[in-house]
Amino acid sequence: MEHIAGQIEAICQLAMSSSTSSTGLSLTSISLGIDTLLGPTGGIEKWGFTLLSVLEFTSPRMNVSQGSVAQLLLEDNADNLDTVNFPEAVLKNALARPTRDALARMLRALGRSSGENSIYAVEWFISTGRYSRTNNAIAALWCAARLLEGISGFSLDEGGIAISSGPRSRKLERFARGLARDLAELWDEEPDFNSQTDTPRADRQPEDSLLKTEFTKGFKTIRATLQVAEPRATLPTLSEDQPILHKIFCLQLLSISAGILQARYASVLIQVLYPVLHSIVSPAPHLSLTGLATLHFMSAVMSYASPANLLLSNFDYALDSVSRRLSRRWLDVDATKVMAVLVRLVGADVVQKAGDVVEECFDRLDEYHGYEVIVQGLVGVLGEVIKVIEAEEPPTQKEGQDDMQSSMIISSLEPLFEWLSHRKDPPPDEDATDHVPAPHRAWGTTKTDEESVENQSDGPTTRPKIAEDAEPAPTPGQALTKQMVSRSIYFLTHASPIIRARILILLSSATPVLPESALLPSIHLAWPFILNRLNDAEPFVVSAAAGLVESLVTHVGSFMGRRVWDDIWPRFSNILKKLDASDNQNALARRGYGAVGTESAYTHSHRLYRSILRTMTAAVAGVHMQDASGWQVILAFRRFLHKQAHDELQACARELYIALGRGNEDAVWLALMATCGHLTGEVSYLREHRWDIQDNVRVILNE
């Protein structure tokens, strides 16, 4: 096969050289023969199926280093993907790469030598592969892509480096524009994965026609061929990756059409953008990487610096395509994922367009608030917008954000001694003369005269004085965040625990962005719901609520002063008791004398322990601590200093006790030393033999 493909490629090279060489006039018959072969009279309906029957493609195994595009986007590594190559499909019956490359070069050479005369063959291959997902259909799309590359004069395998900027014929551009619109409609049609024929859908017979039911009377006729079984059409078996390969080759054809039209491809972007973005969010790594490569290729041939610039310039097209697929007439569950990846790909520049995204999300939330999958996807989009705004907006400086415990510590008594020594001194002499009230303005000058004098003066006019404590006007990102916070707190009571947790995480991300005047009214309104989430049945919801309290204590400590010790700490104390009892029945719990927590750092109990420790650390550092509650906190978290606890929990516990020591160093020293057994007498009841906390106590006291 490789040898024959090489011979055909050499013949095509001779045909192309004959058009430019003065001595090759006798070879023009070769080019005419190729034009006839790929034209309407070439009989492609006969030899085309023979070619397709020997080509069977399969998806290659992805390398671990490549990963999926969704993973790269979640890890914020999409900016490092400067150039994304199209992944290669593998011929199942010819695993050697030279064979596939030879066939691809042969088809490109045929298209290059015939030019626009071979568009008929491309149309036949596309019509054969468009309406089916069989092996022949996939091979037909691959052959059409390679022929169209030859006609266009570039190759996707080379990254489109050799794309010429010269003018294209109107026939080729018209064909490319129609091809892009036609293939984009495949993502809007109902997938027909049970299709077993290569004929268009309108001409197909139902599968029930293959099983005929007949009523006969009399003797059964014996056939001369002595066939025992009834003749029945055999159906080819389909593998699971055939629909994925079908979309992959359609994306390659969309890329080739973009290479043909280049800047004029903008007229079909409104149809093409959604299929490309939908492919990027696919769980199949091969299809996802092909979608990202298509987006990069389109941005390059359309003279955009990056895919983010392409999406930002055509953001209205992309958002409109997503909105149309979130209507009652046309609902696509993956549309929310497409919107989320759109926000992630655009990046920080999406802030100027995020208002439309947020309005669209809340309009759909009002309409589909009872559908958990859709609500979860829309809340995820809002979370992506908050992440972008948080990275773009600097954290607001809020009052009371300094360490309140350190401000309560008296470092020197000199001011007190100074006051005591001079408290009985007589006040300094003051002028006791009783002056008459002084006028505020010159006598005899009326208000009208003052206004005329001010108007005639050449000096600078006096501007109204602005209050020094007035807050600056909110930025567009802050105004957008305020809108999201105020409209999302109602979903804290949603029936789905995942949505409740995501709303809590969204509020946590919005806390550093908003000023107190914009944040606190919404938090005050939602405070009863936040407290109820601390009693939630799902541990990850409780962990998200603890994270929100941690963010509030860190950034608005003055607002959380009484709420932490009156509302939060009693609930945290009950949670610790419940977790202590549930860990005894957990299969992942640490075994041993005095063991604390679980072996894995990915269990719900470990994450909840970590959230509680960090929340209380922020509380004792940023909120004035009561003595009684502070002593309860000191005693409650001693077990996490045990050397058999998880290293992460030990580090969080050390930070907590160091913060406690800044506020009440004596109480921390007393409790820890008594727990270790170094103190006797009335505090001997604090001794715990099952916890070995000596090493962590040394670190805390040295700090």
- Tokens linked to 571: 């609930």
> Of 171-180, 330-339, 592-601, 630-639, which gets the smallest average pLDDT?
592-601
Percentage of residues of the chain with pLDDT beyond 70: 76
Give the Cα separation of 654 and 696 in Å (integer).
7
How confident is residue 19, by pLDDT bands cut at 50, 70 and 90? low
Question: Of 24-28, 448-452, 498-502, which has the strongest mean pLDDT?
Answer: 498-502
How confident is residue 355, by pLDDT bands cut at 50, 70 and 90? confident
Domain ranges of the chain: 1-19+64-195+239-303
Q: How many CB atoms lie within 10 A of CB 679?
A: 17
pTM: 0.75
Does residue 261 have a pLDDT over 60?
Answer: yes
Question: Of 19-23, 184-188, 294-298, 467-471, which has the strongest mean pLDDT?
Answer: 294-298
Give the Cα separation of 436 and 429 in Å (integer).
20
> Helical H runs in 495-585?
497-510, 516-533, 539-555, 561-563, 569-583
pLDDT attached to residue 177? 92
pLDDT attached to residue 585? 72
- Tokens linked to 50: 């023979």
- Tokens linked to 11: 């013949």
- Tokens linked to 691: 């916890």
How confident is residue 30, by pLDDT bands cut at 50, 70 and 90? confident
Give the Cα separation of 280 and 295 in Å (integer).
9
Task: Please name which of 607, 630, 484, 626 lies closest in space to residue 546, comparing C-alpha atoms.
Answer: 607
Q: Identify any residues that bridge with 91 across adjacent strands, giving them in sequence order.
A: 57, 94
Does residue 198 have a pLDDT over 70?
Answer: no
DSSP-based three-state secondary structure for 669: helix
pLDDT in tens, 668-681: 888 888 888 888 77
Task: Please name which of 594, 703, 601 lies closest in space to residue 657, comparing C-alpha atoms.
Answer: 703
pLDDT in tens, 551-589: 888 888 778 877 888 888 899 989 888 887 777 777 777
pLDDT attached to residue 83? 66
Pairwise pLDDT comparison (282 vs 211), residue with the higher score: 282
- Tokens linked to 43: 């009989």
pLDDT attached to residue 480? 85
Pairwise pLDDT comparison (503 vs 36), residue with the higher score: 503
How confident is residue 194, by pLDDT bands cut at 50, 70 and 90? very low
> Of 255-259, 365-369, 458-462, which gets the smallest average pLDDT?
458-462
Per-chain mean pLDDT for the chain: 78
> Of 12-26, 334-348, 663-677, which gets the smallest average pLDDT?
12-26
CA angle 41, 46, 51 (to 5 degrees): 115
Gap between the terminal Cα atoms of the chain: 76
Number of residues assigned to the chain: 703
Does residue 515 have a pLDDT over 60?
Answer: yes
Question: Number of helices and strands (H, E) in the chain?
Answer: 30, 2
Does residue 529 have a pLDDT over 90?
Answer: yes
How confident is residue 32, by pLDDT bands cut at 50, 70 and 90? confident
Does residue 79 have a pLDDT over 60?
Answer: no
Largest CA distance in the chain: 141
pLDDT attached to residue 406? 45
Pairwise pLDDT comparison (157 vs 524), residue with the higher score: 524
Does residue 232 have a pLDDT over 60?
Answer: no
Give the helix/strand (H/E) hosting 415: helix 414-422
- Tokens linked to 191: 């997938």
pLDDT in tens, 412-451: 567 777 777 877 777 766 555 555 566 566 665 555 555 5
pLDDT attached to residue 283? 87
CA 67 to chain centre: 16
Specify the DSSP class assigned to residue 162: T
pLDDT attached to residue 276? 93
Contact 291, 68 (CB under 8 A): no
Detail the DSSP E strand segments found in 64-175.
90-91
pLDDT attached to residue 530? 92
Task: Please name which of 91, 188, 201 lies closest in space to residue 143, comparing C-alpha atoms.
Answer: 91
- Tokens linked to 367: 């309409």
pLDDT attached to residue 440? 60
DSSP-based three-state secondary structure for 94: strand
Does residue 284 have a pLDDT over 60?
Answer: yes
Give the Cα separation of 603 and 607 in Å (integer).
6
DSSP-based three-state secondary structure for 558: coil
Does residue 250 have a pLDDT over 80?
Answer: yes
Contact 201, 131 (CB under 8 A): yes
Give the Cα separation of 611 and 442 in Å (integer).
67
Task: Please name which of 122, 95, 75 lies closest in space to residue 1, comparing C-alpha atoms.
Answer: 95
- Give residue 236's region: left, alpha or beta (phi > 0; psi -120 to 50): beta
Give the Cα separation of 597 and 220 in Å (integer).
78
pLDDT attached to residue 196? 45
Secondary structure of 210-224 as H, E, C letters:
HCCCCCCCCCCCCCC
pLDDT attached to residue 425? 79
Q: What is the mean pLDDT of residues 603-608?
A: 83
pLDDT attached to residue 163? 67
